[in-house]
Amino acid sequence: MSKLWGGRFTKQTNHLVDEYTASIGFDQALAEEDIQGSLAHVTMLGKCGILPQEDVETIKAGLNKVLDKIHKGEIEFSVSDEDIHMNVEKNLIAEIGPVGGKLHTGRSRNDQVATDMHLYLRKRVVELSGMLYELQKSLVVQARDNLDTIVPGYTHLQRAQPILFAHHLMAYVSMFQRDIERLMDSYKRINVLPLGAGALAGTTFPIDRHFVAEQLQFDRVYENSLDAVSDRDFILEFLSHASIIMMHLSRLSEELVLWSSTEFNFIELDDAFCTGSSIMPQKKNPDVPELVRGKTGRVYGNLMGLLTVLKSLPLAYNKDMQEDKEGMFDTVATLEGALQLFAPMIASMKVNKSRMREAVNKDFSNATDIADFLVGKGLPFRQAHEVIGKTVLYCIQNGKYLLDLTMDEFKQFSDLFDDAIYQVLQPETVVNARNVYGGTATDQVADAIKRSEVLMNMTEQWLEEHQ
Catalytic residues: 156, 277
Amino acid at 51: L
Please state the φ and ψ torsions of residue 249, each to the nearest 5 degrees.
-65, -35
- Give min distance, CB of 322 to ligand ARG, in A: 4
Q: How far apart are CA 428 and CA 332, in angstroms?
A: 43
Taking residue 11's Cβ as centre, other Cβ atoms within 10 Å add up to: 5
Considering beta carbons, is residue 319 or 382 the nearer one to ligand ARG? Answer: 319
For ligand ARG, the closer CB: 109 or 248: 109
Q: Please, what is the minimum distance in Å from the beta carbon of residue 42 to ligand ARG?
A: 19
Return the closest-CA partner of residue 133 out of 89, 95, 91, 179: 179
Contact 29, 121 (CB under 8 A): no
Residue 427 CA to residue 358 CA, distance in Å, equals 11
Minimal distance, residue 198 CB to ligand ARG, in Å: 11
Residue 323 has, within 13 A of its CA and on its CB side, a CA count of: 16
Give whichever of 317 and 417 is closer to ligand ARG, judged by the CB atom.
317
Contact 284, 212 (CB under 8 A): no
Q: Rounded CA gap, 190 and 117, in Å?
A: 9
Q: How far is the CB of 197 from ligand ARG (least distance, A)?
A: 12
C-alpha to C-alpha distance for 447 and 372, rounded to whole angstroms:
25
How far, in Å, CA of 89 to CA of 220, rounded?
27
> Which is closer to ligand ARG, CB of 235 or CB of 388?
235
- Residues found near ligand ARG in the complex (CB under 6 A): 23, 27, 83, 109-110, 113, 317, 319, 321-322
* Identity of the residue, 109 or 168, whose beta carbon is nearer to ligand ARG in the bound complex: 109
By C-beta, is 316 or 345 nearer to ligand ARG? 316
**How is residue 51 annotated by DSSP?**
S
Q: How far is the CB of 80 from ligand ARG (least distance, A)?
A: 14
Distance CA 108, CA 120 (A): 18
Half-sphere exposure of 101 (CA within 13 A, CB side): 6
Please state the closest distance from residue 354 (CB atom) to ligand ARG, in A. 57
Is the Cβ–Cβ distance between 162 and 154 less than 8 Å? no
